[in-house]
Amino acid sequence: MLVLSKQQQTFAFSALRVTFSAMSYGSISYNAHAALAKAATDLGILYNTGEGGLHEDFYRYGPNTIVQVASGRFGVHEDYLEAGAAIEIKMGQGAKPGIGGHLPGAKIVGDVSKTRMIPEGSDAISPAPHHDIYSIEDLRQLVFSLKEATDYKKPVIVKVAAVHNIAAIAGGIARSGADIIAIDGFRGGTGAAPTRIRDNVGIPIELALASVDRRLREEGIRNNVSLVVGGSIRNSADVIKAIALGADACYVATAALLAMGCHLCRSCQTGRCNWGIATQRPDLVSRLDPEVASRRLENLITAWRNEIMEMMGGMGINSIEALRGNRLMLRGIGLTGKELEILGIGHAGE
């Protein structure tokens, strides 16, 4: 467990480094997607479309949208790429490293089918690899193809799962031309991941982040890319810890769904979500009021912002930038010596 060291001083707060992580239209309902888009716009942060394309109703939220290009290429076309503020290439996901995605055909109905550009009732299967990417050189080609397609106006993010040797992987991504590396920890909360994979593959985001940040600094390329981390970011303290370990920003998804009304049933893939979030059944979708859900999301992030301000004040930090990579603000409790070494922090009491 990591805890925050404390010093009481006053401070001024700069910017909140939190954005909503990828949740695709189809895996979640129209109303849930609308709530995320509206809340992100009102808060001045970003939300991620996931790999399901972007419904035409949500193009107006483009300045606050990250559009994703995954292995299945669902819903990817020129207007889609132009619509977002940034483009994310999804190489891997923390909850299911090494395997692809599968959205059951029962969820591919109506506008989901149109948005994803696949027939109604057909399973949306994303292969584990991108079939045009088998090396860093291939990744570099896709990065610059996307930049070329958008006149070099959009930053490109490459999302990977937190796995062993992640530091070397991140070093290659940083040299591929990507502007941002997104790392997803092993407790990422998709309801569709096989439990054997979700609970036994991948590594904690803290260890992955610390390793990547150190490796990029040693190679002198840390300032060439930004680091965004997700998976196990459950509260405001997790955001503080991630930034102190070197992250520039954090992705949150499970916490956002819980704010909207999710009860963590872990049955998202069945399409029978009672809360109107992970379903396409009209009678269930209608249970989620997007306006109410949006206000709940705004309350969550606003509360986190206030808590982050309080914790930073306790540490005598007056800006997020002053906290980034500042491991002196962290101490470990119940961690092994090797874990403390990887994290680059001292033990509590030192």
Confidence of residue 12 (pLDDT cuts 50, 70, 90): very low
User: Which domains, ranges and CATH numbers included, belong to the chain?
Assistant: 15-314 (3.20.20.70)
Other CB atoms within 10 A of residue 136 CB: 15
pLDDT of residue 300: 97
Q: Could you give the CA distance from residue 222 to residue 248 in angstroms, rounded to a whole number?
A: 11
What pLDDT score was predicted for residue 269?
Answer: 82
> For residue 238, what are its two tokens?
């997790």
Lowest mean pLDDT: which of 98-107, 175-184, 185-194, 297-306? 185-194
What is the average per-residue pLDDT within 266-280?
Answer: 91
Average pLDDT, the chain: 92
pLDDT for 37-91, tens place per residue?
999 999 999 999 999 999 999 999 999 999 999 999 999 999 999 999 999 999 9
pLDDT, residue 3, reads 54
Calpha distance 253→234 (Å, rounded):
9
Closest of 28, 25, 196, 26 to residue 96, by C-alpha: 196
What does the pLDDT read at residue 15? 53
- Would you give the distance in Å from CA 125 to the centre of its chain? 21
Q: At 5, is the pLDDT very low, low, confident or very high (cuts 50, 70, 90)?
A: very low
pTM over 0.85: yes
Q: Which is higher by pLDDT, 115 or 10?
A: 115
Residue 11 has pLDDT above 50, yes or no: no
> What whole-number percentage of the chain has pLDDT above 70?
95
pLDDT of residue 13: 31
The pLDDT of residue 14 is 37
3-state helix, strand, coil in the chain (%, to 5): 45, 15, 40
> What 3-state DSSP class applies to 323?
helix
Task: Give tens-digit pLDDT for 153-182.
Answer: 999 999 999 999 999 999 999 999 999 999
More confident residue, 236 or 201: 236
